[in-house]
Amino acid sequence: MSIIKDFLLQLTLMVIPIFIYFTFITEKVKGDQNKNVLMTFLWGISILLCMSFPLTFGQDARLDLRFIPLLFATLYLGFRPGVFLSVLVILYRLYSGISIGFYTTVLVLLLSLPVILFYQKSFANSNKDNRVKIAVGLAFYYCLIGLTSSGILNGFSIDDVKVQIIHLFFVVAVTWIFTMLMETIREIHQLRSELLNSEKLRVVSELSSVFAHEIRNPMQVTRGFLQLLNDPELSKSKKDYIKISIEELDRANEIIDEFLMLGKPAINNNIKVNAGYQLERVINIIQGYSISHQVEIKTNIEDNCWIDANPQKLNQSLINIMKNAVESMPEGGTVWVTCSSTGNDTIKITIKDQGIGMTKKQLDRLGSPFYSLKEKGTGLGMMVSFQIIRSFKGKIIVNSEKGMGTEFIILLPQISQK
């Protein structure tokens, strides 16, 4: 009973950072980098508290739940927080004195941290169910390494093995519960954000639908008269003025279409679609545009990429992303396009360019309405693309660095070909 009580104390110490993060930090702190720094600090405090009040047994042997904050920090925050907190664990354990326990701690971290870092990117790109599986699997692996290392360095005894087994089951169970909890809370926050965006789009839709018809009529009349004025005898400068005027009218019409697209209710008319085939069609459509910009498109597309989607909307989303990739390279370059199955019931489409890239601040705002890096852009096209992928129960992950290009990763649920 004393063992369970000590573990429950450890559990309480670990809950505090999660409570603080989702109660205060997500609402009041702006910027992912600031949030990551604060969360790393909170996980560090949790680790120190867990190590300060361990379960002691045998000859100065200790057990605690330090691994769970370390695991969550590495999986959710990335490489640097994971390494930083691992060093923190070693230094704090060194402060407690050099003993067999210290060597066990170092050995277990050396064997487990590289594995966690290896799965970190897969965890970030996975859905909720796969994230839970990865986290639980890593927790089981860590405890197994800890049990084996402790037995080798301290010697095996029945009592010690019993405590280690209790530790294993407790860590795995707590990891499963807290991963489910964090993923559920993240989903609630995401749904809340989407609800706010939907309300904004509803207002935009109502306004645009009211004015679209009245605006388009004089635009079409103006366009028609401009075409009539385009007489062969006009000077080149006047012809250029007419051409620019028609192009600007067409662009205004496209913006109206994008406004109306945002507010249209989603109609589920999806069918079984080979994403690889649609991607090849999009590449053929945009090939001429890319050549005119001195951009080469290289592909690696697999056959078994079946998804449940609307092919026209999928093409619209892919064309917009690929067009942006081409336009991001004013001096020319290469766009790499791939489509493959990840092996966990997910199709992965990547579109990677060698363009100007984006800063972290620009990346955070990507997909927001009226935000665009292009001089005459509205940001609505990219927002529509995000909306289309979400309607297929997929998601878009964007990796970018200023001056180093941008990579779009589109993850969509895979279905059987039959």
| Per-residue pLDDT tens over the stretch 114-168 | 999 999 888 887 888 888 999 999 999 998 888 888 777 776 677 777 777 877 8
Summarize pLDDT for 155-194 with one digit per residue, the tens: 667 777 777 787 788 888 889 988 898 888 888 877 776 6
In this predicted structure, what is the pLDDT of residue 337? 93
Place of tokens 């992965």: 348
CA dihedral 400, 401, 406, 412 (to 10 degrees): -10
What are the two backbone dihedrals, phi and then psi, of residue 306, each rounded to the nearest 5 degrees?
-85, 135
pLDDT of 17: 78
pLDDT score of 197 more than 70: no
**Could you tell me whether strands 346-352 and 405-413 are parallel, antiparallel, or unpaired per DSSP bridges?**
antiparallel
pLDDT band at 210 (very low <50, low <70, confident <90, very high): low
Nearest CA among 156, 139, 130 for reference residue 66: 139
Taking Cα atoms as reference points, which of 108, 34, 24 lies closest to residue 66? 108
Q: What percent of the chain clears pLDDT 90, i.e. is strictly above it?
A: 12
Quick: pLDDT tens for 248-283.
777 777 667 666 665 555 556 788 889 888 898 888
| Number of other CB atoms surrounding residue 196 within 10 Å | 10
Q: What b/e sequence results for 55-77 when a residue is b if at least 16 CB atoms lie within 10 Å of its CB, and e otherwise? A: bebeeebbbbbbbbbbbbbbbbb
Strands ordered across the beta sheet of 333-341: 295-301, 333-341, 346-352, 405-413, 395-401
| Between residues 11 and 311, the one the model is more confident about | 311
Q: What is the pTM of this model?
A: 0.56
pLDDT, averaged across the chain: 80
* Nearest in space to 342 (alpha carbons), one of 416, 413, 417, 277: 413
* Integer angstrom CA distances of residue 239 from 223, 227, 249: 14, 10, 15
Q: So what's the pLDDT on residue 202?
A: 65
Q: Which residues contact 133 (CB under 8 A, 6 or more apart)?
A: none
Kindly compute the dihedral angle of the four CA atoms of residues 102, 104, 109, 115, in this order, to the nearest 10 degrees. Answer: 180
pLDDT at 400: 84
Q: pLDDT digit string (tens) for 307-365?
A: 988 888 888 889 888 988 888 888 889 999 999 988 778 899 999 998 888 877 777 76
Q: Provide the pLDDT for residue 411.
A: 92
Give the residue-averaged pLDDT of 69-77: 90
Kindly tell me if the per-residue pLDDT of 378 is higher than 60.
no
Minimal CA–CA distance to 40: which of 4, 5, 2, 72?
Answer: 72
414: DSSP letter? B
Residue 373 has pLDDT above 70, yes or no: no
The string of DSSP letters for 305-347 reads -EEEE-HHHHHHHHHHHHHHHHHT-TT-EEEEEEEEE-SSSEE
Looking from the CA of 314 toward its CB, the CA atoms found within 13 Å total 28
pLDDT in tens, 216-253: 777 777 877 777 777 777 777 777 788 878 877 777 77
Q: Quote the CA–CA distance of 372 and 341 in Å, as a whole number.
A: 31
Question: CA 264 to CA 72: how far, in whole Å?
Answer: 39
Predicted confidence at residue 194, as pLDDT, reads 65
Q: CA-CA distance, 90 to 48, in Å (whole number)?
A: 11
Query: What is the 8-class DSSP label of residue 266?
Result: P
Q: pLDDT at position 114, please?
A: 92
